[in-house]
Every structure is written in C-alpha cells, then in structure tokens.
Amino acid sequence: MGGGYALWAQGLAQEAAGDRGGALACYEAAAAHLRAARIEVLAWRVDAEAARMQGDPVRAAASVTYYEARGWHGRAAAARRAFPGLQAAPLPTRRPPAPGLHLRALGHPQVQGPPPRPVRGRQARTLLGALLGARLAGDPELEQLALADLLYPAQTEGRAVGALHQLVHRLRDTLGPGLIVRTPGGYLLGEQVQTDAETFVVSGDLSLWQGPYLGAADEPLPDALASALHRAVTEALPAQAALAAQASEWLLAADPYSRPALVLALRAQAAAGRPQRLARLYAQARARMAEVGDELPAHWEALLGPAPGPEPET
C-alpha cells in the first residue's frame, strides 16, 4: 500500500511539472499496487486520474459506477469534473442507498434490522463513536487525518489512512452503504442514519439504555450525552430508582474520577435500596481516587450529606 501511495504522489508531482507521460505511468503503476493490496477504494480513484489524462470517458465511467454503486458520490465527482455530463456505466451489481439506518449505541452497538447487524471490532466501535460524538456536538464532520491518528496511532500516515479507508469500506459493506459518508475533508454519519443516543438526548428516556455506551463500560461519553444522562438519572429519582441506579453506574464508569457522577451513583443506589452495592461502589471509588491524590471521606455518608429536598414553592 505504501508503494501505491508513493506512486500516486509521484504522478501528481510529475503532472504538475508538465511530464504527462511520466505522470500517467505513475498512475497506472499506483492503481496496480493498490489493487494488489486489495485497496480497491483508492485504486478506482487513481483510475479516474489516469482516465482524465488519457481523455478516456469509458474508463472514467467505470470509476463513477464503482463509487456511486456504494453511495460515495463525493468520490465519483472527481471523474465527473473531468468529463461533464458523464453517466455511470450500468452494472448489475449496482446497489441503491439504504432508505434509512438506525444505529444503536446505548448498549452493544448494532445497526438494527431486520436482522440486527452487530458492530464488530474495537476500531469499528471507536470510529462510529467518534462520528456520533461529532454529530452530537453539532459539528458532524471529522477530518480524515484526525480519524486515522485516532484509530491507528502507531502507523505511518499513509498506512493509517489506508487502514481507515478499508475499515470504512468494510462497515459500509456489512452495515449499510449509507452509514458513513465521505466528505471533501473527512467522514460523517449519513444523513439517513438515526441513533438512539440522539433520541435519548432529546427525550431523556432511560429505557433506551440497554447497556453501557457502545457496549464498553469504560467508553467516554460525548459531553451532550453525559449531560443528558446525568439529568435523566437525577430526574428519575426516586420514582424509577432501579433504572436510575443502573444508568448511574454506566455514567460513573465512563467518567470514573468525577465526584458529581460518584455522588449521583451513590444516591441512586441508596434510593434503590442497594446498600451493599453502594458500599462496594464507594470503596472502589475511594481506592481509585486515592491513586490520583483525591482523598474521599472514610464513610460515604460524609460525601453525600443530606439528600436534596423538593424545590421550594414560589
């Protein structure tokens, strides 16, 4: 894959210097290297460059077909810019975009069916969690290099980007072509993707939580989701104490050094009538906090103080 990237870059440099023949040879070699490495998503992109230089609309149409069959219209645009009005070649393998997808993130992650399709692999969960967090923060697009560094910090930039492309390609194939969308600068969740996390932020319905965020107890929560969960647990006490107690533990696990999260978890356990669980949570928290120099009182009652009463009437 590194050879394919280097040849592609060399071709761009030679084309900029006016060496069209040398550039075309580099593009052809880059496409061959990328296909040998099974990086089809990039090989078709280099094909579009070669087609542009050759003035070959048939070859360009094949590239357009490959991308549009997978819903990657931004990639197809590169060939279309060189050949205005270009139509994709009809192929029997063309797949229409999914009409809608529902991503469950509040529990073991999956794209709901029928049948449900689980999100497999830590890197897949991290990628979808990052894109979902960006959407919740109101800035849904994440830059390609930032994602590559997040997912593959030990690899070179070229290898990390290639691995990211492969991961996105796999997720589109297994979970739905519209799940992740390529943008000029990076990636975002598709517009048709609905998520239980966004529904929860609006509704505060704790029953939407079927497990820890993205199925991992230590997965950090996006700020908007953490705030909504803290508020929902607080408002659920004492009427829905059992539900609130479980949700409060997921909130604490995601931010284990947060005193507000600890206090809320202890109050929820007390309201649910779980003294043994409360004592165990507090003992674990005391040990954990002591490791970072934050000494908690010997007894949890000293940390909680009096329970908050009802709001005064006005």
Give me the CATH number covering residue 126. Answer: 1.10.10.10
Residue whose tokens read 């070699």:
29
pLDDT value, residue 21: 82
Considering only residues 96 and 101, tell me which one the structure prediction assigns the higher pLDDT: 101
Q: Which amino acid is at 157?
A: E
Look at residue 43 and tell me whether its pLDDT is greater than 70. Answer: yes
Residue 186 lies in a domain: yes
CATH number at residue 13: 1.25.40
Reported confidence tier of residue 87, pLDDT bands at 50, 70, 90:
low
Q: Is residue 164 one of the residues assigned to a domain?
A: yes
Does the N-terminal peptide bond of residue 308 adopt cis geometry, omega within 30 degrees of 0? no
Q: Is 162 helix (H, G, I), strand (E, B) or coil?
A: helix
Domain boundary residue, one of 130, 160, 195: 195
Same domain flag for 176 and 224: no
70 and 141 in a common domain: no
pLDDT-derived band at 313 (thresholds 50, 70, 90) equals very low
Please tell me whether residues 269 and 298 are part of one structural domain.
Answer: yes
Give the Cα separation of 175 and 70 in Å (integer).
12
Do 274 and 242 belong together in one domain? yes
Provide the whole-model pTM: 0.66
Q: Are residues 115 and 185 in the same domain?
A: yes
Pair 171, 233 in one domain: no
- Digit-coded pLDDT (tens) for 195-220: 999 999 989 999 999 999 999 988 89
Mean pLDDT of 250-256: 94
- 310, part of any domain: no
Please tell me whether residue 198 adopts helix, strand or coil conformation: helix
Shared-domain flag, residues 8 and 35: yes
Residue type, 126: T
Q: How many domains does the chain have?
A: 3
Q: Is residue 61 part of a domain?
A: yes
Is 231 inside any structural domain? yes
In a domain, 143, yes or no: yes
| Widest pairwise Cα distance in the chain | 82
When mean pLDDT is compared over 17-26, 71-80, 168-177, the highest value belongs to 168-177
Closest CA to 177 of 68, 291, 304, 256: 68
Please report whether residue 260 resides in a domain: yes
Domain that holds residue 182: 101-195
